[in-house]
Structures are given as C-alpha cells and as structure tokens.
Amino acid sequence: MIRFKREIMRLICILLLAITVCAWNSSTIDWLKQQHEKYSLNYTEADAGNILKYTAMLDNGIRTTQDFFGAPFQKKFDVFIYPARNDLDSQWRKDWNMPQFKSECWMVASGVAAKLDLISPAKWEQEACEHSYSDTLNTQRLITHELVHVYHGQTNASPDFSDVTGIDWFVEGLATYASGQLDGRKLADVRNAIEKKEIPAGLDNFWTGKLRYGLSGSVVMYIDQKFGREKLKQLLPLTRKEQILNSLGVTEIALINAWKEYITTLKT
C-alpha cells in the first residue's frame, strides 16, 4: 500500500510538472530576431509587416540621440516589441520583481542600459491611451525618449536607474528635452504655472502631475543653455540630486529661481 501510494504521488508530481511546463511554454513569446549595428531587434510574426517602419524610427532615434550627446552608444542593446500589454506587463513583473504590477494605460515603453521594451506601436489604439501610432511625429519622439534613457543608462552608475535618489526630474527631463518632446505648448503651460505660482517647491516633485514633462524637460533645457552641453553630459553618471547640484555649483532653491526667470523671459 505504501509503495502504491508513493507511485500515485510520483505520477501526480509528474503530471503537475507537465502542467506547469505547458503553462510556461504557452505564455512565452516566439521571438523573431534581427541584428542591427546598434541593437538586436526582437519581434513577433504579428509585427513582421511593421518592422521596416519600426527600424526606421529606431535608427532615426539613435541618430538624434547620438547627435545630441555628440558620441555613440557605448554598447549594443536589445529591443523587444511586444504584441500586447499583457506580454509587456509579464516581463516587467519579472524585471522589477513586482508580481502584482499592472501598467497604466499610458505606459507603452521603457528604456534602460541593456534594452528597450515597447508595445507594438501599431497596437496602441487598442492597447494604450494618450498615444496614437498615426501621429508619426509624437510616436518618433516617444521612441527617441526611450532611446535617450538607454544612452543615459549606459553612462550611469545605476544602468537600470534602480539605485538613484532624487533625480527623476533629471532622468525624465533629459529624455523629454533631448527627444524633442519639449515643445512650445509644454513651455507655455510651464510659464503659465510659474505666473500663477503653481510650481512645486522642490525638484523631487517636478516629475509629478500633468506638467511633469514640461517642468522636468525645461529644467534640463535651462541647465543645457546656462552651463553648456559638456556640463550636461558630465551629469549623466550621477545618481543623487546632491551630486548634480554640487557639480553645477548651485543650491536647489537657486537653481529653481534661476530656471523660473529663464522660462518667464523665454519666447515660446
């Protein structure tokens, strides 16, 4: 009887293992791959007809990023184009060790030193909000924004930005500014907020709220215009707000006040 029970338990374990393996296999993605000079492209059969357009946008974003910084990416990286939000969420849960994570509808991409994850832009109408693939200019700028994160990550002491403190405004502001997302409308909204005295008191809150792109991007633009591109590039390896302020030789209050004066006199 004991031996019989052991055999039953063994068969049950084998069955459970088989079910687990099957479930895992059914959830994995059958990737197609292309090798490019700067990146390895991973996509699915569903996007085979879109790849020429996607690679053109990636290549253009890489050129824009390298032209901005005046230097190439330090190493090759991976690009993964996911067919659906659920697939991207599943990967992010693993990458970020957040089993319950579910992305907001406006989240369509993420860039770090080693890779760029992207929901297929052709699926944004069904899989996302606030983004439209037919808006080619903003689609290009969004992809370039994430490529700036990749470039920044390859120079930063924390390649995936997991060990940074108080620099969300710089990380996101840099990508907003360098990608061309800081347009006249965003600058006008920021200037209006300054006039109404609706600006956060500290940089830690600049990457919050509806004006986060304009606030953060315009501070980085000010740093670039005031201190120069070479100084801006010297900030890329830094991981703490205090390091950035010390490198610029300013206090946080002084930086914010000078930025306000710059924006209010800027023609938009």
pLDDT digits (tens, 9 = 90+) for 157-174: 999 999 999 999 999 999
Which residue bears the tokens 């790849």? 51
Give pLDDT, residue 268. 59
DSSP secondary structure, 178-233, as one string: HHT---HHHHHHHHHHHHTT-S-SSGGGTTSSTTHHHHHHHHHHHHHHHH-HHHHH
Residue 10 has pLDDT above 50, yes or no: no
pLDDT (tens digit, 9 = 90+) per residue, 169-216? 999 999 999 999 999 999 999 999 999 999 999 999 999 999 999 999
pLDDT (tens digit, 9 = 90+) per residue, 244-266? 999 999 999 999 999 999 999 98
pLDDT (tens digit, 9 = 90+) per residue, 67-94? 999 999 999 999 999 999 999 999 999 9
Prediction pTM value: 0.89
The class level of CATH for 32-155 reads: alpha beta
> Of 41, 38, 127, which is closest to residue 88 (Cα–Cα)?
127
Q: What percent of the chain has pLDDT over 90?
A: 88
pLDDT (tens digit, 9 = 90+) per residue, 21-31? 333 333 489 99
What is the maximum alpha-carbon separation in the chain? 89
